[in-house]
Structure 1
């Protein structure tokens, strides 16, 4: 089977959410899910994980939540912990 047919990518869905939000667009969980290729519920879980971990700051305007990326957050895996989310985003833009 060819590598492109096996369905894996180099980045996690958590990283995909961070990258989408780092562009400054106001996206709903549904819109994020459509861009990334996951369910709205999966996006909500990821947004919760990232907010609780300090990687996102959530503000509420009316009924909508807006998220801001914390570029100083450290990557979680020991192999990358000396890098920040901001460095990851810069490298991938």
Structure 2
């Protein structure tokens, strides 16, 4: 059995990039997408596309605060896959962060 360490990046993960971006913004709603992209390990453009997907589906709302964006998470919506639709995204966020909403 191989030991996992930082030098070995997995070929796959249990969470999608959409989940990683969503969790990062739930943890810090004022975070810049450039920072989220670095954390997730994807391009800033991919991060912007994911945020647009999350917004279009109603899971995330972008609020303009001065020259910055703030992201509001909507935790009561169901997970998208039919096998998990009876669970909310808030339940998923609860596993990874204690902050479930983007509310101030």
Fold in common (TM above 0.5): yes
Task: Measure the CA separation in 2 of the matches of 1:92 and 1:59.
Answer: 23
**2:18 paired with 1:14:** yes
CA distance in 2 between partners of 1:48 and 1:61 (Å): 18
Question: Could you list the runs of 4 or more consecutive aligned residues of structure 1 that deviate by over 4 angstroms after TM superposition?
Answer: 2-6
- Please give the TM-score of this superposition, normalised by the length of structure 1: 0.88
The two structures have a TM-score, normalised by structure 2, of 0.80
Q: 1:61, CA displacement in angstroms?
A: 1.5
Match status 1:84 vs 2:88? yes
Instruction: Give the superposition deviation at 1:65.
Output: 1.5
Q: Which runs of 5+ in 1 are unaligned?
A: none
The Cα of 1:21 is off from its aligned counterpart by 1.1
Query: Which structure ranks higher in relative contact order (CA pairs < 8 Å, sequence separation ≥ 6)?
Result: 2
Alignment of 1:1-93 (within 5 A): 6-93=10-97
User: In angstroms, what is the RMSD of aligned CA positions?
Assistant: 1.7
Note closer, same or farther for the CA distance 1:47–1:5 as it changes in structure 2 (3 Å cut): closer
- Please state which structure has a larger fraction of its residues in helix: 1
